């Protein structure tokens, strides 16, 4: 029997009820196919170009049997059959590709779930018990062979992209507590083969570096132990088959929707199969589940592309746009969120030295450039003169804004822009009224030093009183001021993660409860202020993941705004995340970080690859600078939906010291395309390579219009999609030198 099911399972992770309020209406109409074949005992999920299949083997275990390109409707996936022992040194339980393996029965590879029972038993062997169809897909219930521990595996498949959502709910129906030491969203298995692993790592000001390496025997662990997503690794992976590249071949990819400590383990087992297990980081984990309590894991989203890494990221971008990112009330019915307003942000211009007159002066200049949103950054509250003081005291600094924020906000509105404000809600400086009043509110181990980073401590958001305080002051701020946007910052990681209000055995719950409360605050704020938009910033890209992106409209990928460095950061970013959320500011030259000097046109085009902002000290701009920026902002506005929501093709990567880089985006109707080309430094007189475009309609005619720079003197101005894709776009012979940039649009005639 083939069944159609509808709706989202993507919100079954932490805080599901609050999250459900944010569902895009478009999800209600989604459908995909779920099928259980009672004779072979195989569950099959089919959508777009993907089939995922698993079944109940003769021992009652849930076993994965297939994940890849879509199978024919009448095809029968392999019958789940337990793998045999290779030798006496291992177990059939280990060799069998468990769909969600409990640690027990001699499981030697990464378990999905590991628990300790009150009597010291640590053996957990999960067998199929039942399944139900849900509005969003399938729930399959597993139970331990003797104990009353139930695990419900949730499955969702997206009809547009074939992306699967997987998570688990663990329930204790024993009469005594159990401690969960490890809990994954899912395990995914690929058959024996040669694969390449792609993953993103970095550091502050150097996020989203793409790493590519062969998968070898043993385990590669990607993780954060920092209480947050982290700059150092991002919870995304892509596994390529041997014959795959940017445009061709098979790729299996995934992204964990969690903003706390996380871990993804990619292991090639002794029989060469590859298993990916992703979920809560088991390091320092210990979640006590009392009788009748449940723990939900985050969701792992996983997809398959037959069109290389480029195809994988296009699927993920489309999925994020349609299924993950929130909508405001105004855009609730549109299938994708609106493109981001072009912003001005004052941080690099003024740092903490904000004032009513200074911000108004900047706002006037920004409005004249065609900016949509004016954002005041750090420094407006409490005794915030440097980063030594003030976090926690979310009242307007009277010296800097004697009449409150209203005069500034009114002026910004009168100039035709909306207003955004910086906050860092989860933090406190020891030098603050809040800390003086509530020193017990921070993460700490009593009697131990409290490690400061940037002179700040982390409020324990897991505490209900802290959660209420944070929600309360943000709600008040939004009630009392006409604020359209919050830049939500988070500028340190955890140390001493104690929660001393709970019994010692329960304190490790902080890893889950903190993030659940963060999500619930964001959800509640969005409910109470349905048109307010939010950016996730963490000293740049320290908190970018599909968990926070259910509640935030955009992210700040890096504090590094050097336009050349940004090309590589942005390239890496797009493997996992859509350009829609990739905020990119044009800042001053020479750049504060690298001392590199670049032209304004180069800086503008680098930022125009994503969601454009201006973060320079525009007080110092010449009339020529302002005129150029104004022209390019207007040109950007015209093609922005194609750039940020179109299909992205990374034509030439800036990685590995490349002299050149180029990207192209094509809108869904194939009626418009935008091309960016950058030169790092031409060597030995080499000209820019012919850019063979992609994704166009070969039979349509496209007119080429420069946004900045020139095509070759003999390039046609109008030609077929076939011409631009097969012959290619030739750039002008003068396009040479250091840090050069050009951009073009193609419009179907």
Kindly list the catalytic residues: 489, 559
- Could you say whether residue 545 binds ligand DGJ (CB under 6 A)? no
Stretch touching ligand DGJ by CB under 6 A, among 36-44, 168-176, 501-509, 537-545: 537-545
Number of residues lying near ligand DGJ (CB under 6 A): 11
Q: How many degrees, rounded to 5, is the angle at CA 45 between CA 44 and CA 49? A: 120
CB of 559 to ligand DGJ, least distance (A): 5
Class of residue 130 by CB neighbours under 10 A (exposed 0-12, middle 13-18, buried 19+):
exposed
Closer by beta carbon to ligand DGJ, 77 or else 539: 539
- Could you say whether residue 514 binds ligand DGJ (CB under 6 A)? no
Separation CA 442–CA 451 (nearest Å): 11
Distance from the first to the final alpha carbon of the chain: 47
> Does residue 10 contact residue 299 with C-beta atoms inside 8 Å?
yes
- Could you say whether residue 392 binds ligand DGJ (CB under 6 A)? no
Residues in the chain: 749
- 3-class secondary structure per residue, 371-435: CCEEEECCCCECCCCCCCECCCCCCECCCCCCCCCHHHHHHHHHCCCEEEEEECCCEECCECHHH
> Does residue 348 contact residue 559 with C-beta atoms inside 8 Å?
no
Rounded-to-10 torsion of CA 180, 183, 189, 195: -120
- Could you say whether residue 554 binds ligand DGJ (CB under 6 A)? no
Closer by beta carbon to ligand DGJ, 8 or else 540: 540
- Could you say whether residue 380 binds ligand DGJ (CB under 6 A)? no
- Could you say whether residue 589 binds ligand DGJ (CB under 6 A)? no
| CB atoms near residue 331 (< 10 Å) | 14
Q: Binding ligand DGJ by CB under 6 A: which of 104, 540, 610, 721?
A: 540
| Inter-axis angle of helices 600-608 and 563-576, nearest 10 | 10
- Could you say whether residue 229 binds ligand DGJ (CB under 6 A)? no
Scan residues 334-353 and list those touching ligand DGJ (CB under 6 A): 347
Separation CA 109–CA 21 (nearest Å): 39
CB of 539 to ligand DGJ, least distance (A): 5
DSSP lists the bridge partners of residue 249 as 307
- Could you say whether residue 583 binds ligand DGJ (CB under 6 A)? no
- Could you say whether residue 539 binds ligand DGJ (CB under 6 A)? yes
Binding mask 479-508 for ligand DGJ (x = CB under 6 A): ----------x-x-----------------
- Could you say whether residue 46 binds ligand DGJ (CB under 6 A)? no
Closer by beta carbon to ligand DGJ, 301 or else 380: 380
Residue 35: DSSP 8-state: E
- Could you say whether residue 208 binds ligand DGJ (CB under 6 A)? no
Q: Binding ligand DGJ by CB under 6 A: which of 269, 559, 571, 647?
A: 559
- Could you say whether residue 372 binds ligand DGJ (CB under 6 A)? no
CB of 358 to ligand DGJ, least distance (A): 16
- Could you say whether residue 426 binds ligand DGJ (CB under 6 A)? no
| CB atoms near residue 76 (< 10 Å) | 13
- Could you say whether residue 571 binds ligand DGJ (CB under 6 A)? no
CB of 561 to ligand DGJ, least distance (A): 9
| Inter-axis angle of helices 406-414 and 356-369, nearest 10 | 20
Stretch touching ligand DGJ by CB under 6 A, among 126-134, 457-465, 535-543, 661-669: 535-543
Q: How many degrees, rounded to 5, is the angle at CA 681 between CA 675 and CA 682? A: 85
Position closest to ligand DGJ via CB: 378
Q: Binding ligand DGJ by CB under 6 A: which of 494, 556, 636, 744?
A: 556
- Could you say whether residue 422 binds ligand DGJ (CB under 6 A)? yes
Q: Which long-range contacts (CB under 8 A, 24 or more apart) does 723-730 make?
A: 724/693, 724/696, 725/692, 725/693, 725/694, 725/696, 725/698, 726/692, 727/690, 727/692, 728/690, 728/691, 728/692, 728/693, 729/675, 729/690, 729/691, 729/692, 729/693, 729/704, 730/690, 730/691
- Could you say whether residue 378 binds ligand DGJ (CB under 6 A)? yes
Closer by beta carbon to ligand DGJ, 129 or else 388: 388
Closer by beta carbon to ligand DGJ, 207 or else 524: 207
Residues in contact with ligand DGJ by CB under 6 A are 347, 377-378, 422, 489, 491, 537, 539-540, 556, 559
């Amino acid at each position: 029997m083939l069944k159609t099911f509808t709706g989202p399972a993507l919100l079954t992770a932490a805080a599901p009820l609050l999250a459900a309020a944010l569902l895009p209406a478009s999800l209600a109409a989604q459908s995909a196919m779920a099928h259980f074949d009672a004779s072979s005992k195989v569950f099959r999920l089919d959508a777009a170009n993907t089939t995922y299949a698993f079944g109940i083997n003769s021992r009652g275990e849930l076993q994965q049997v297939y994940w890849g390109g879509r199978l024919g409707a009448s095809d029968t996936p392999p019958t789940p059959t337990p793998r045999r022992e290779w030798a006496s040194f291992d177990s059939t339980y280990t060799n069998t590709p468990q769909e969600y393996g409990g640690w027990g029965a001699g499981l030697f590879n990464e378990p999905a779930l590991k628990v300790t029972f009150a009597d010291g038993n640590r053996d957990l062997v999960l067998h199929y018990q039942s399944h139900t169809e849900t509005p969003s897909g399938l729930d399959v219930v597993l139970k331990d062979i003797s104990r009353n521990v139930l695990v419900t595996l949730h499955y969702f498949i997206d009809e547009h992209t074939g992306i699967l959502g997987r998570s688990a709910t663990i329930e204790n129906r024993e009469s005594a507590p159990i401690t969960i030491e490890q809990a994954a969203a899912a395990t995914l298995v690929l058959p024996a083969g040669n694969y390449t692993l792609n993953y993103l790592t970095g550091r502050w000001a150097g996020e989203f570096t793409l790493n590519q390496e062969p998968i070898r025997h043993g385990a590669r662990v990607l993780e954060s132990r920092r209480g947050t997503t982290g700059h150092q690794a991002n919870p995304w992976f892509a596994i390529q088959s041997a014959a795959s590249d940017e445009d061709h071949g098979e790729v299996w990819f995934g992204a964990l929707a969690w903003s706390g400590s996380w871990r993804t383990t990619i292991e090639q087992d002794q029989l060469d199969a590859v298993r990916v297990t992703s979920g809560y980081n088991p390091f320092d984990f210990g979640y006590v589940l009392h009788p009748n309590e449940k723990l939900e894991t985050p969701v792992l989203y996983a997809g398959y592309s037959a069109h290389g890494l480029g195809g994988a990221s296009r699927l993920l971008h489309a999925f994020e746009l349609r299924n993950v990112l929130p909508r405001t009330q105004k855009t609730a019915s549109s299938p994708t969120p609106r493109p981001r307003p072009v912003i001005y942000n004052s941080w690099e211009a003024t740092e903490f030295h904000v004032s009513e007159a200074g911000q108004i002066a900047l706002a006037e200049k920004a409005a004249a450039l065609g900016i949509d949103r004016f954002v005041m950054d750090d420094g407006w509250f409490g005794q915030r003169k440097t980063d030594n003081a003030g976090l926690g005291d979310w009242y307007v600094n009277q010296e800097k804004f004697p009449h409150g924020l209203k005069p500034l906000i009114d002026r910004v509105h009168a100039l035709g822009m909306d207003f955004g404000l910086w906050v860092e809600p989860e933090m406190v400086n020891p030098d603050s009224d809040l800390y003086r009043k509530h020193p017990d509110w921070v993460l700490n181990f009593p009697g131990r030093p409290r490690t400061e980073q940037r002179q700040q401590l982390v409020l324990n958001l897991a505490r209900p009183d802290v959660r209420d305080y944070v929600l309360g002051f943000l709600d008040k701020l939004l009630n009392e001021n006409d604020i359209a946007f919050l830049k939500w910052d988070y500028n340190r990681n955890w140390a001493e993660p104690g929660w001393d209000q709970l019994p010692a055995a329960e304190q490790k719950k902080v890893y889950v409860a903190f993030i659940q409360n963060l999500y619930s605050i964001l959800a509640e704020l969005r409910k109470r202020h349905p048109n307010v938009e939010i950016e996730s910033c963490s000293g740049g890209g320290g908190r970018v993941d599909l968990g926070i992106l259910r509640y935030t409209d955009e992210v700040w990928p890096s504090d590094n705004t050097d336009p050349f460095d940004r090309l590589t950061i942005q390239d890496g970013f797009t493997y996992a995340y859509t350009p829609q959320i990739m905020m990119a500011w044009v800042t001053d030259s020479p750049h504060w970080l690298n001392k590199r000097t670049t032209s304004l046109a180069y800086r503008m085009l680098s930022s125009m690859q994503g969601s454009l902002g201006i973060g320079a000290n525009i007080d110092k701009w010449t009339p020529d600078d302002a005129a150029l920026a104004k022209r390019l902002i207007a040109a950007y506005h015209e093609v922005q939906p194609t750039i940020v929501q179109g299909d992205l093709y990374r034509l030439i990567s800036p990685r590995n010291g490349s002299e050149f880089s180029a990207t192209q985006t094509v809108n869904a109707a194939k009626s418009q395309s935008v091309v960016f080309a950058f030169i790092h430094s031409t060597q030995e007189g080499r000209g820019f390579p012919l850019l063979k475009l992609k994704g166009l309609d070969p039979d349509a005619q496209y007119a080429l219009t420069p946004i900045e720079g020139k095509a070759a003197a003999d390039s046609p101005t109008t030609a077929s999609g076939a011409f631009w894709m097969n012959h290619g776009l030739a750039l002008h012979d003068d396009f040479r030198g250091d840090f050069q940039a050009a951009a073009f649009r193609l419009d179907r005639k």
